[in-house]
Chains A and B, each alone.
Chain A
Amino acid sequence: MSRPKKSAVFLCKCGPNIADFVDLEEVAGWAEKIDGVEMIETHNLFCSPDGMNAFREMLKGKSIDNVIVAACSPKMHEKTFQNLAGETGINMSRVQIANIREHCAWVTKDKTEATTKARALISAALCRAEHAEELEHRTMKVNTDILIIGGGVSGMEAALTAAQAGRKVYIVDREVSLGGTVIKTEEVAPNMECSPCMLAPRLSLVKDNPDIEVITNAEVTDILGFYGNFTAKIRKKARYVKDNCIGCEVCFAVCPVEIDSPFHLGMGKWKAVHTLFPGSVPAAAVIDRDACRHFVDQSCDECRKVCPFESIDFEQKDEDVEISVGAIVVATGFDQDDMSAYPRLGYGRIDNVFTLSEFERMASSNGPCSGEVRLKNGEKPGAVAVVHCAGSLMDDGIPYCSGICCLSAVKTGVLMRAQNPDVKVYNIHNDLVLDGPDRSRFFSKAKKEGTVFIKCRDTGTVSVSENNGRISVTADGLEPVDVDMVVLANGMRPSVGTRELAEMLNVEVDQDGFFKADHDMLNSTGASVDGIHLAGCAAGPCDIATSITRGRAAVGDAISRLMPGREIELEIMTACIDSEVCAGCKLCISVCPYKAITYDSEKQVCSVNEAICHGCGTCAATCASGAARAKHFTDEQIYAEIRGLFVS
């Protein structure tokens, strides 16, 4: 057994703050008699420059093991004293603070009682220090490259921001082109900006940036590793078109197969060989294997024959690649709520009932009707009803407000009037979510220019029905509204595949299925695991401006933590698992909020990844065999502290 530990006890008067309420002379006299206490020093104010000097000098040249500082709260000066003691070679773990100010002098009226309590607190610190184990500062090398999953507006802006900082960025999208949802909209409210004009330059910048690698028609299949050291496996699905394709569309003309276009939300068609939209990034087209006659029955080769650049490659295969990055930004966007789930709204049943996105597509100049909104029979609509909160604010629909549909719902009328000044527009709404100067003005203008706003107490009672070839929209307490077209302002749901991606990334989703933020205020762009960041609507419904801001904030956070040439500091007081004792029961893994523990099925033991452990200690409490220990808060230290409180 090593020689008994020598302790130094420092008593701070803190001016009158402690000295007037605790009899420090008595405490010093008591401490002198304790076995192992080699020196006792009192000072008026240890945290002052003079006090810190004195502290330093007092320890110099003495072979002291444990330092007990009876003073103010450790939240004030624990670090200060740890650093000072560190100068004389004493490890930070051996510096214990006895809080005799906030927890004693300042809250105990009777001086005798306060003195007794001070002794107990110092005694506890002495006993605790006996079991101190060396703690060390540790750093870790990190990869500074970034992976962005999702190439919509927030993903693209995140990519540009990271590239600006000189990082290598991978942007992966499962669609055949970047652009996300916003590219499907022509004019964005409230300033009615042209979305393609806004996005085209951004798409260009992303395409031309040598630090950004664009991987489309691809999906992430696995993520391994952890913060600073991720490996992502990506499957690039075959396009059957080589990268040298410039999207000139010559092959479109000769392709004999026409199919419904998902880009046009089923309202238009494209050929089996197609690009997502003119100006896609990348420009290369893609062939729909299930529709293409070459694949179905080898009966066609027309596109290959006409391609001026020999870009058609029917033999192309899926390709799996692996990339190493330091952080991942999830920018997977959102999906629209499916209106066919609400039969009373007539969607899919009654002609000329559209969702917001379908309306946007129709109104877009690159849409199925070249921007002219028409009824199914080809006529111009004379009266349009826009139903706000369609399927939203309902327990059996979307229980929350998505916050942006009102804006698009008001925009509907503005777009309709631009095409036909005589059109009647009725917005049936509950509360209107149109905050801020720009949106409020947008609303007032729309109202002034003719949109009739009909307040409906309970939009859950809105019913859309056919009525003599026209459409009747009714609701509790409302006069029926007679129109020939209905637009349902539907809410936002998490993107398809969110749950699977969340599992792959080992991050949490919230009760609505969106990726859950680490902290809704302090860290709304961080996921529940270090190194994974959330951009855009992946973290919850928001508008375009917020989406982009989140993207920049998310990647900004990522790149400011992962700086080239700089290693990251790791948490000091992590947990660790004794592999000699660990049975591999894995209960610790169930309780770790940071997924910092992994099970090795060969060795059949668990181990803590100290790079991502946050030191909460719940695994140490959970471990029923005592194999998991929380550094600096071990069982031995706590039992000793309890003992110390009672023996004084």
Chain B
Amino acid sequence: MDKPKVVFYWCASCGGCEEAVVDLEEAILDVTAAVDIVLWPVALDFKYQDVEAMDDGSIAVSFINGAIRTEEQEHVARLLRKKSGLVVAFGSCAVSGGIPALANLTSREAVFERSYLTSPSTDNTEGITPVTRSDVDGHTISLPRFYDTVFKLDDVVDVDYYLPGCAPVPDLIIGAVKAVLENNLPEKGSVLAPNRSLCSSCDRNESKPEDVCISEIRRVVDTKIDPDICFLAQGVICMGPATRDGCGQACIKGNMPCTGCFGPTDNCEDQGAKMIAAMGGIMEGNDEQSIRRVLDGIVDPAGTFYRYGMSASLAGSMRREKQK
């Protein structure tokens, strides 16, 4: 019998999710032995046409990472959906927009201006920015359209499962691959990680007092952090309470607070708003002035609470006031 066909594809991605697959180390050999990888741009030389030529649904599973922000990414995502039995949103960018989705706080114009014109290391005196069509020496070259909004995968295609993380961890990846191969999958739409927040496995949880009261927000960049005490108890914002468990707390063990890459548990609509709700319960202050003093320590709420989840936020991308 033919081995199941598998795809690893990247959209607006840093490549970290591809590395995560490589991080499987020896186990990757078991994976490659069990399946037939038919598209993996970072590692193998298959082309889109090869996929287009396949029968619909003939790919067992496509692991798609990265956010959707260009025409090409949307196009291939849709292609893969058509050709796949299962589509797994792989990594925070696919699940909820990830780091690229922070661009939803600005606009394509601003991004282009910065990247191509004003960034200190750019030397672009002719002021060239990408365009979708250009004619060069009688030939027409086209580039995929760059969207104003960064989308998550399920904004453009129906997603079967979600594997969160920036990047997902080897344990969960192996688990997901096995589950697919053995046809032992949970309910469609499930997130393939435990439905509990990070505090449940965090070694520092016992040190968290039962009356957390942050009088001053402290930032990693300007504070020496005690490696044994709960971050929140030290005034450092840790997204742990609002973030799904399953990552093995690599950040915590590196004395860095959780930044929320595994996204929220099933019971929450909006991870950032939920963390704001929690923060509101544990900050000091009884009147507007004293509360403002504490809040002034949060220099970038959106970047802190929606670092990986901007595309999934209820408030959506940046809105400029406009007429309906």
Quick check: is B22 within 8 A (CB to CB) of the other chain?
A: no
- Is B265 interfacial (CB-CB < 8 Å)? yes
Residues of B within 8 A of A624 (CB): 197, 241-242, 264, 268, 274-275, 277-278
A-B contact pairs, 23 of them (CB 8 A): A580-B195, A581-B196, A581-B265, A581-B266, A581-B267, A584-B199, A584-B200, A585-B240, A587-B241, A587-B278, A589-B210, A589-B211, A590-B209, A590-B210, A599-B210, A622-B278, A624-B278, A625-B196, A625-B265, A625-B268, A626-B267, A626-B274, A635-B269
In the complex, chain A residues whose CB is within 8 Å of the CB of B245: 583
One digit per residue, 1 when the CB lies within 8 angstroms of any chain B CB and 0 when it does not, for chain A 563-594 equals 00000000000000010111111110111000
Contact assessment for A621 and B196 in the assembled complex, using a CB-CB cutoff below 8 Å: no
Q: Would you give the shortest CB distance from B94 to chain A, in whole angstroms?
A: 22
Nearest A residue (CB) for B213: A590
Task: State whether B196 touches A583 (Cβ < 8 A).
Answer: yes
| B107 contacts the other chain (CB 8 A) | no
Using a Cβ cutoff of 8 Å, how many contacts connect chains A and B? 92
How does the 8 Å CB contact mask read for B260-300 relative to A, with 1 for contact and 0 for none? 00001111110000110110111000000000000000000
Chain A interface residue bracket vs B: 20 to 34
Instruction: Choose one: B199, B266, B281; the contact of A583 (CB below 8 Å).
Output: B199
Q: Is B198 an interface residue (CB 8 A)?
A: yes
Q: Is the CB of A625 within 8 A of B277?
A: no
Docked Cα-Cα span, A598 to B305, in Å, equals 28
Chain B contacts for A627, CB-based, 8 A:
265, 267
Q: How far is the CA of A626 from the CA of B273 in the complex (A)?
A: 12
Name A591's closest neighbour in chain B (CB-CB).
B281
Distance to closest chain B CB from A621 (angstroms):
5
A583 proximity list for chain B (CB < 8 A) = 196-200, 205, 241, 245
What's the Cα separation between A604 and B198 when bound, in Å? Answer: 12
Task: Please determine whether A625 and B197 come into contact, CB atoms closer than 8 angstroms.
Answer: yes
Task: Identify which of A587, A604, A635 contacts B212 (C-beta below 8 A).
Answer: A587
Interface residue? B208 (CB, 8 A)? yes
The 9 lowest CB-CB distance pairs between A and B, nearest first, are A626-B267, A583-B200, A585-B199, A624-B242, A591-B281, A625-B197, A624-B241, A622-B281, A583-B197
**Which B residues are in CB contact (< 8 Å) with A591?**
281-282
**Closest B residue by C-beta to A627:** B267
Instruction: Give the Cβ gap from B103 to chain A, nearest Cβ, in Å.
Output: 26
Given the complex, which residues of A lie within 8 Å of B280, measured CB to CB? 621-622
Q: Does A539 contact B (CB under 8 A)?
A: no
Interface centre among B212, B240, B269, B281 (most CB of A within 10 A): B281
CA distance A64 to B205 in the complex (A): 47
Q: Which of A596-627 contact B (CB under 8 A)?
A: 599, 601, 604, 618, 621-627
Cβ of A639 < 8 Å from any Cβ of B?
A: yes
**Interface assignment of B23: CB less than 8 Å from any CB of chain A:** no
Residue of chain A at shortest CB distance from B206: A601
B266 cross-chain contacts in A, Cβ below 8 A: 581, 626
Knowing that A586-B208, A604-B200, A622-B277 are A-B contacts, what are 9 other residue pairs whose CB atoms are under 8 Å apart, sorted by A's residue number?
A585-B240, A587-B281, A591-B281, A604-B205, A618-B281, A621-B277, A622-B281, A627-B267, A635-B267
